[in-house]
């Protein structure tokens, strides 16, 4: 049986030819480049990176099928610790993948009885009890001692990493995952996520940094970060809350208008999402406000309601269906109010909401953390997002942005958000694009950076001894440098005069100059080179500022290298890399040599994160 071919045919038979093509491309490229040459004696870690809500599940299934064709007999598919999500994933595996022995968490007997006669997929949630149970099952059956294991960890950055790394301990889930993969003769552990910040900031020694990374492009109709948070200015779908006096009222009216258009033009569902806070009291407050607004609509259905709905109708610009007539539109809007068909759902730890409750009709969902990973809202067109944090984390914020997806109508999207929060999302999107650019250019040492005040991920999964922050706007130089060739650097800099204040140069010139510096341990030259490479991956012709000074009679180890004038000059370029090259006289230390000493300043207000193994 050809597993990948069978799966792709099933996708195509459902009418999803473009999806089948995308899955085929991912599966074949990952399979031929990384799985085909697997040694079957090693334990390797890889990363499948795709945009949030861009269809990672189908890509995962394609890779599982390709790995089966290449000889892997056992797969563990991990979901987040959510009973409903684990069951949904198990059901989807059974519906989509033929020719496998498919096991849920309570199917140890089925696993043992199968004896690997059929390739096996075990679907587990990342729960310590469940993982410990299956670590024992794999060990007791003995099947894995002589067989390779393929683990697919969906949302791998969420719960799998060691949260006790700074206490020299190992968290339970991380420990049992280690037990499962190391209990096999060999393994490939494929991490899957749309937010890989925490994963890229793991050390290789930890066993959780990927050996390889594959990024798959979203399909044509996907609305993602670049649609909502482009580099230049906010798009029409963004409504800043600062411009509204009654935001809840505005959101409800907008949602009713969009719902009337969608439901009267053949659509099945129109969803609106309120994401105000993690606090359940806030969820109840907003749900009450929404209910109050719907009551206002009913009371004014023959008056002000009609006026406002007409104004909203005039703003609608649907792209996926023709705009219905005003009579059809207003009839549907009035029907929604009169029949009380607008469902207000509070979704949090206190209130369970089944996905079937927002799969059809007109719905307004209010919630917090439960609106994050793994939860998909079909037909989500209207979002009210005000959740803030004193210490915002980029990966958490991005996972909460449920606005991304395929089934949205771009002409009717509307996100109500405050301006500062919008700018945070725009910064996160810029770094996401940087990560993608680095991956696509084959850069192995991926660099991550954010504006000051925005953390990449939660601190408890980052090893304090190995993750270093380089601050933009700060001057860095080595106290005890060497040059591999003073003459070579002198030759490289011969075109740059000392009496010229500064030169604009390619970042590639800076990399060449720095390649001749032998740094002391206090100056992480490799990290600075990686940052320059990151910038070049985004802008191949990237520019910086070069300042060259000769015969500087500077004492070694005094705590300052630059003269006050050069320090001030470098500060005049806050958005550029500034490399200052001083050739010292050697009269006051420096081994008596006329060394070239670099001073580098990265763009200001940005923190660059570096992982060092030693």
Q: pLDDT for 203-217, tens place per residue? A: 999 999 999 999 999
Does some domain include residue 438? no
Does some domain include residue 459? no
Q: What is the pTM of this model?
A: 0.88
Give the end of a domain, one of 181, 215, 249. 215
Select the more confidently predicted residue: 500 or 447. 500
**Are 184 and 235 in the same domain?**
no
Q: pLDDT for 249-299, tens place per residue? A: 999 999 999 999 999 999 999 999 998 887 888 899 999 999 999 999 999
Q: pLDDT for 552-595, tens place per residue? A: 999 998 778 999 999 999 999 999 999 999 999 999 999 999 99
Select the more confidently predicted residue: 397 or 287. 287
What does the pLDDT read at residue 428? 93
**Are 147 and 196 in the same domain?**
yes
Does some domain include residue 432? no
Is 130 in contact with 103 (CB distance < 8 Å)?
no
Does some domain include residue 267? yes
**Are 201 and 135 in the same domain?**
yes
What does the pLDDT read at residue 92? 95
Residue from 214, 210, 191, 204 nearest 467 by CA: 204
**Are 280 and 186 in the same domain?**
no
Question: Is it the case that residue 610 has pLDDT exceeding 70?
Answer: yes
Give the end of a domain, one of 424, 452, 472. 424
What does the pLDDT read at residue 442? 87
Count of domains forming the chain: 3
Distances (CA, A) of 248 to 16, 255, 302, 363: 38, 11, 21, 15
Select the more confidently predicted residue: 389 or 120. 120
Average pLDDT over residues 45-49: 97
**Are 64 and 184 in the same domain?**
yes
**Are 229 and 321 in the same domain?**
yes
Residue from 425, 416, 395, 389 nearest 286 by CA: 416
Does some domain include residue 429? no
Question: Is it the case that residue 352 has pLDDT exceeding 90?
Answer: no
As a whole number, the mean pLDDT across the chain is 93
**Are 189 and 306 in the same domain?**
no
**Are 194 and 247 in the same domain?**
no
What does the pLDDT read at residue 231? 85
Question: Is it the case that residue 370 has pLDDT exceeding 70?
Answer: no
Give the end of a domain, one of 215, 237, 266. 215
Domain of 579, in residue numbers = 464-611
**Are 49 and 162 in the same domain?**
yes
What does the pLDDT read at residue 372? 64
Which H or E run includes 434? Answer: helix 419-440
- The token duo for 421 is 């929060």
Select the more confidently predicted residue: 382 or 521. 382
Question: Is it the case that residue 510 has pLDDT exceeding 90?
Answer: yes
Q: Which residues pair with 584 in a beta bridge?
A: 552
Is 80 in contact with 33 (CB distance < 8 Å)?
no
The CATH number of the domain holding residue 259 is 3.40.50
**Are 362 and 391 in the same domain?**
yes
Does some domain include residue 419? yes
Burial (CB count <10 Å: 0-12, 13-18, 19+), residue 142: exposed
Does some domain include residue 451? no
- The token duo for 357 is 């409750």
What does the pLDDT read at residue 374? 64
pLDDT-derived band at 375, boundaries 50, 70, 90 = confident
Least confident stretch, 28-42, 149-163, 360-374, 419-433: 360-374
**Are 410 and 469 in the same domain?**
no
Dmax (CA) for the chain in angstroms is 91
Least confident stretch, 126-130, 133-137, 427-431, 504-508: 427-431
Average pLDDT over residues 349-370: 87
Q: pLDDT for 436-493, tens place per residue? A: 999 998 888 888 999 888 999 999 999 999 998 999 999 999 999 999 999 999 999 9
């Amino acid at each position: 049986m050809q597993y990948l071919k069978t799966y792709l045919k099933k996708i195509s038979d459902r009418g999803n030819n473009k999806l089948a093509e995308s899955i085929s491309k991912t599966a074949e490229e990952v399979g031929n480049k990384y799985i085909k040459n697997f040694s079957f004696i090693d334990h390797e870690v890889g990363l499948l990176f795709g945009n949030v809500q861009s269809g990672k599940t189908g890509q995962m299934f394609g890779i599982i099928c390709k790995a089966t064709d290449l000889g892997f007999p056992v797969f563990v598919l991990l979901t987040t610790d959510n009973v409903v999500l684990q069951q949904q994933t198990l059901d989807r595996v059974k519906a989509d993948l033929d020719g496998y022995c498919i096991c849920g968490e309570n199917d140890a007997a089925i696993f043992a009885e199968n004896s690997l006669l059929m390739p096996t997929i075990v679907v587990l949630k990342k729960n310590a009890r469940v993982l410990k149970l299956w670590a024992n099952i794999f060990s007791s059956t003995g099947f894995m001692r002589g067989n390779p294991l393929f683990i697919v960890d969906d949302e791998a950055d969420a719960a799998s990493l060691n949260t006790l790394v700074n206490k020299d301990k190992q968290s339970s889930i991380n420990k049992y995952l280690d037990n499962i993969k190391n209990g096999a003769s060999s393994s490939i552990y494929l991490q899957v996520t749309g937010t890989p910040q925490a994963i890229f900031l793991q050390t290789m020694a930890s066993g959780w940094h990927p050996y390889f990374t594959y990024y798959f492009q979203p399909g044509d109709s996907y609305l993602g970060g670049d649609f909502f948070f482009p580099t230049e200015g906010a798009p029409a779908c963004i409504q800043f809350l600062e411009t509204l006096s009654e935001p809840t009222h505005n959101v409800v009216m907008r949602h009713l208008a969009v719902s009337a258009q969608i439901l009267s033009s053949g659509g099945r569902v129109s969803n609106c999402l309120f994401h105000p806070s993690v606090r359940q009291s806030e969820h109840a407050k907003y749900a009450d406000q929404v209910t109050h607004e719907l009551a206002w609509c009913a009371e004014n259905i023959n008056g002000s309601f009609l006026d406002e709905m007409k104004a909203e109708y005039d703003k609608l610009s649907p792209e996926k269906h023709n705009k219905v007539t005003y009579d059809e539109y207003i009839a549907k809007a009035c029907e929604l109010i009169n029949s009380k068909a607008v469902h207000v759902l509070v979704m949090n730890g206190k209130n369970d909401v089944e996905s079937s409750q927002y799969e059809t009709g007109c719905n307004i969902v209010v919630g917090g953390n439960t609106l994050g990973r793994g939860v998909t809202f079909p037909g989500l067109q209207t979002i009210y997002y005000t959740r803030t944090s004193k210490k915002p984390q980029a990966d958490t914020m991005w996972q909460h942005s449920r606005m991304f997806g395929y089934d949205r109508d771009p002409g009717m999207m509307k996100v109500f958000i405050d301006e500062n929060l919008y700018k945070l999302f725009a910064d996160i999107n810029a770094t996401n694009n940087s990560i993608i650019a680095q991956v696509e250019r084959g850069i192995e040492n991926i660099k991550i950076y954010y504006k000051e005040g925005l953390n990449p991920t939660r601190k408890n999964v980052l090893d304090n001894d190995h993750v270093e922050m380089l601050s933009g706007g700060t001057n860095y130089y080595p106290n005890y440098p060497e040059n591999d060739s003073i003459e070579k650097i002198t030759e490289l800099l011969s075109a740059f005069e000392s009496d010229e204040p500064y030169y604009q140069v390619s970042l590639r010139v800076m990399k060449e100059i720095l390649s001749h510096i032998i740094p002391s341990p206090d100056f992480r030259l490799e990290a600075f080179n990686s940052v320059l490479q990151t910038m070049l991956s985004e802008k191949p012709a990237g520019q910086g500022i070069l300042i060259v000074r000769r015969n500087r009679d500077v004492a070694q180890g005094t705590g300052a290298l630059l003269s006050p004038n050069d320090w001030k000059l470098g500060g005049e370029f806050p958005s550029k890399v500034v490399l200052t090259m001083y050739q010292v006289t050697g009269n006051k230390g420096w081994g008596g040599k006329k060394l070239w000493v670099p001073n580098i300043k990265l763009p200001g207000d940005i923190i660059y994160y570096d992982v060092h193994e030693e």
